[in-house]
Amino acid sequence: MSNNERIIAVASGNPVKTAAAQAGFQRMFPHLRFQVVSVAVASDVSNQPMSDEETLTGALNRVNHAIAAHQAADFWIGIEGGVQAQAGELGAFAWVVVRSRTELGKARSGTFFLPPAIADLVAGGMELGHADDLVFKQSNSKQSAGAIGLLTDNAVNRQQLYEQAVVLALVRFKNEALYQPSGPRL
């Protein structure tokens, strides 16, 4: 591997998450080349995380399991989608956690609210991807456009939603000196 190549271990077998990770890293570090390795690991949370905290915990757990499964990587990334009740509606979002050997970056995607037909199914215990498939008469939509893609007619799809959060989680890595305890202060 050359000096400008890095290995990213994505803590998921979902091609949407893998593509979002690679695209986000490439946007933030265009001078580097990335080899992406998919590592299917558990989140150790519910199949459908129902709170902000549970969703973040799932992303952190995925990263930790990916480190154990693929120690040779330069970066490990966990992406966990979740929902949370807010003001009588069910908001959907994702947490992204990126680790290197020395740093940890985190970011949350934007939130969008689910229509009642989907929200009711999810609140009743169904995973969001399955609820989307049922309502939109799709198959395995979580590995393609996702709820956001279905609801926006792909004006924003799941990969794009996650990719922006990957970029935000990488801010710490792009500006390492500013995040060090002895870093510049104003």
Is 98 inside any structural domain?
A: yes
Is 129 inside any structural domain?
A: no
Q: Looking at 43-165, which runs of residues are DSSP E strands?
A: 75-86, 89-99, 104-108, 112-113
Predicted pLDDT at 142:
78
For residue range 126-136, what is the model confidence (pLDDT) as tens digits? 999 999 999 99
For residue range 143-172, what is the model confidence (pLDDT) as tens digits? 888 999 999 999 999 999 999 999 999 999
Residue 169 half-sphere exposure, CB side, CA atoms within 13 Å? 34
Is 162 inside any structural domain?
A: yes
Give the domain extent around 69.
5-85+93-109+156-179
First to last CA, the chain: 39
Which pair of structure tokens corresponds to residue 133?
Answer: 């498939």
Is 125 inside any structural domain?
A: no
Is 147 inside any structural domain?
A: no
Predicted pLDDT at 141:
82
What's the total number of domains in the chain?
Answer: 1
CATH assignment at residue 50: 3.90.950.10
For residue range 28-87, what is the model confidence (pLDDT) as tens digits? 999 999 999 999 999 999 999 999 999 999 999 999 999 999 999 999 999 999 999 999
Is 45 inside any structural domain?
A: yes
3-state DSSP helix/strand/coil percent for the chain, to nearest 5? 40, 25, 35
Is 127 inside any structural domain?
A: no
Is 141 inside any structural domain?
A: no
How does residue 25 score in pLDDT terms, banded at 50, 70 and 90? very high
